[in-house]
Homo-oligomer: A and B are copies of this chain.
Amino acid sequence: MTYNTPVNAIDYLLHHVVDLDEIKACPAYVDVNDDLISDILQGAAVFSKEVLAPTNWSGDQNHPELKGGNVIASPGFKQAYRSFVEAGWLGLAGPTEYGGMGLPQVLSVGVNEMLYSANMALGLCPMLTSSASNAILAHASDELKATYLEKMINGEWSGAMDLTEPQAGSDLGELRAKAVPNGDGTYALSGQKIYITWGDHDCADNIIHLVLARLPDAPAGSRGISLFLAPKYFVEPDGSLGKRNNFRPIGLEDKLGIHGSPTCVMEFDNATGWLVGPENKGLACMFTMMNEARLFVGVQGVAIGERAYQAALSYANDRVQGKVAGEAEKAPIIGHPDVRRMLMEMKAGLMGARAICMATAAAGDIAVSAEDEETRNSAHAREALLTPLAKAYGSDIGVEMASIGVQVHGGMGFVEETGAAQHYRDSRIAPIYEGTNGIQAIDLVGRKLRRDGGEAMQALIAELRDILAQVTELDDQAALELGSAVDNLGAGLEAMTTATNLILTADETDALASATAYLALCSDVVSGAFLIKGVVNGLKKQDPRAKSMQKLVWFHSVAFLSRAPSYLDQIKYGAGPVFGFDKELLADL
């Protein structure tokens, strides 16, 4: 269960797909340079391989336990988490005024991919902490910020997000948890929350919960929800920890995967909380964090897929079985064309999804930090548009590749001790949480496409067309070697343009019924185009790795980019075939 870190792959995309120069041009990032990037990626790689990766299997086999109102994390997790905090990985992209390093998110994506690959279940704890601290940073009072942020950003304290209730999952407007003013500026929170990731544990000294609840007489539905901060232990004026707050874990879910991550049922019984942001604006406050959280779930998909890929590659290099053409002796199965095809499918699919995730993060960095407002605005629209692709495509690719990883192992893949099965199980959560992938697709066609009349999408398509045009600037030989990729990108862009126009003019139900197909189509084209961009830029800058990328892009083109037009039929017919079959007959015929 070794894990090789794809440092070069990440570094390549940073330099040739993401517009790193544009990020470096932001005043906040003037200190970012190639040496720093290289040092950080190498450091994260070593830490991931040596400290985190060895705890992954153990966490799967030894679940956290609930004992007397406290969750005890899986063996070895506390120490690994402490090492993580000491190494300073959590504050990488955190604000410098609270002790963070203030580095771009895109670098954090590269770093976190490796951390998640090494141990996704453990990696969720800092991910949740980061989301919670971002929400506090954006919406909480200066007093709350002063009390909590620094220790959350360095990881001494962790964070948790308490949103879901049994009747309120995708539809948070249904939630019932109550918040009653105590008269002293605090609120008494009561109710039950489920699916609270790292809701309790013994790795960090304190756990800061962000809780959605309703004030008395709040409007019904999603407009009556407020956001509260509730620490596990109260913080005394001197910063020391006081007595325990009135909420606790009352159950742990028995899950398909990410066993090392405690998923808690939390009971709030007049717990003390502080309001974050305005009354009844809790959902909006949460949603400002959503883009980032969704992006990082996409990164998790890539990460688990990559770990599964590395395991499959290692197995295929070792396992001798059957004769391979051109070899006299029996040889490792990597020589079998269909095994090699599976490995290439994993590698290429992951690289494409990784490119989307990194481009999304880069857009976010520019949206926050560019000097020029217009640049910030268009980057923000681009980030918003790419986020559902990053989340859904990244997480779907993760599941698909983890499944291929099992397949490469043959019978051994179905036996738990190999570890391939763990990746298959772990990966399955990513298409579900932080908004199911169906919700991502709806977000894409609704908020991101139709709401602005297609403006951001047309800008993206124009950019992709520009990539296609740049291929012709390459010398003949290089352009020739990109041949099939260029053809498929052309066809893909035609399909994407047609699909976009269809969705823009479709009625609501047709658009919603086509949403997943549209997201899949866009993802294949965007990832393919980004990878081609990477080859074009790499060749121009004479990066010696560009020739390998070109070979990878060839495979990506025939196996992924070429699929784009096949989604058109679903978009063309919309709701017709989806609702045509009589609902009452669905159980049989």
Contacts and interface: CB of A to CB of B under 8 A. Distances in A.
Contacts of A580: 551, 554-555
A588 B9 CA distance: 6
A251 to B, nearest CB: 11
A272 interface: no
Interface in A362-401: 399
A313 B586 contact: yes
Copies of this chain, complex-wide, total 2
Interface in A339-363: 339-344, 347
A424 B421 CA distance: 11
Contacts of A575: 337
Interface string A32-46: 000000000000000
A218 to B, nearest CB: 18
Given A171-B322, A558-B570, A429 B414 contact: yes
Interface of A: 4-9, 12, 164, 167, 169-171, 174, 194-195, 253-257, 310, 313, 320-322, 325, 330, 334, 336-344, 347, 399, 403, 406-407, 410-411, 413-417, 421, 424-425, 428-429, 431-433, 436-438, 441-442, 484, 488, 508-509, 512-513, 515-516, 545, 548-549, 551-552, 554-555, 557-559, 562-563, 565-566, 568-570, 572-573, 575-583, 585-589
A566 B569 contact: no
B437 A407 contact: yes
25 contacts: A4-B587, A5-B588, A6-B588, A12-B589, A253-B415, A254-B415, A255-B421, A256-B414, A313-B587, A337-B513, A337-B578, A338-B438, A338-B513, A339-B438, A340-B578, A344-B577, A344-B578, A347-B581, A406-B432, A421-B428, A424-B428, A484-B569, A551-B580, A552-B589, A554-B577
B570 A559 contact: yes
A414 B436 contact: no
A342 B441 CA distance: 13
Nearest to A335: B583
A344 B343 CA distance: 31
Contact of A341 (B508, B516, B568): B516
Nearest to A572: B558
A527 to B, nearest CB: 15
Contact of A442 (B4, B338, B417, B429): B338
A557 B586 contact: no
Contacts of A555: 577-578, 580-581
A508 B337 CA distance: 10
Given A6-B588, A558-B577, 13 more contacts: A8-B589, A9-B589, A174-B321, A174-B330, A254-B417, A255-B414, A337-B512, A403-B428, A407-B437, A414-B428, A551-B581, A554-B577, A562-B566
B512 A338 contact: yes
B415 A586 contact: no
Contacts of A581: 344, 347, 548, 551-552, 555
Contacts of A169: 321, 410-411
A310 B587 contact: yes
A576 B555 CA distance: 8
Q: Which 9 A-B pairs have the closest CB atoms?
A: A337-B513, A338-B438, A337-B512, A555-B577, A256-B421, A566-B566, A558-B569, A8-B589, A171-B322
A516 B254 CA distance: 36
A551 B410 CA distance: 38
A430 B484 CA distance: 34
A572 to B, nearest CB: 8
A428 to B, nearest CB: 6
A325 B548 contact: no
B589 A545 contact: yes
Contacts of A337: 509, 512-513, 515, 575, 578-579
B573 A484 contact: yes
Contacts of A12: 589
Contacts of A568: 562
Nearest to A310: B587
Contacts of A8: 588-589
Contacts of A342: 438
Contacts of A554: 573, 576-577, 580
A436 B442 CA distance: 37
A508 B325 contact: yes
A577 B583 CA distance: 44
Contacts of A338: 438, 441-442, 512-513, 515-516
B548 A585 contact: yes
Nearest to A333: B170
Contacts of A436: 407, 410
Contacts of A255: 414-416, 421
Nearest to A547: B582
A254 B310 CA distance: 23
Contact of A321 (B170, B320, B407, B488): B170
B417 A432 contact: no
B570 A170 contact: no
Contact of A407 (B410, B432, B559): B432
Contact of A334 (B167, B171, B330, B583): B583
Nearest to A171: B322
Contacts of A433: 411
Contacts of A563: 563, 566
A9 B586 CA distance: 10
A515 B341 CA distance: 10
A573 B562 CA distance: 12
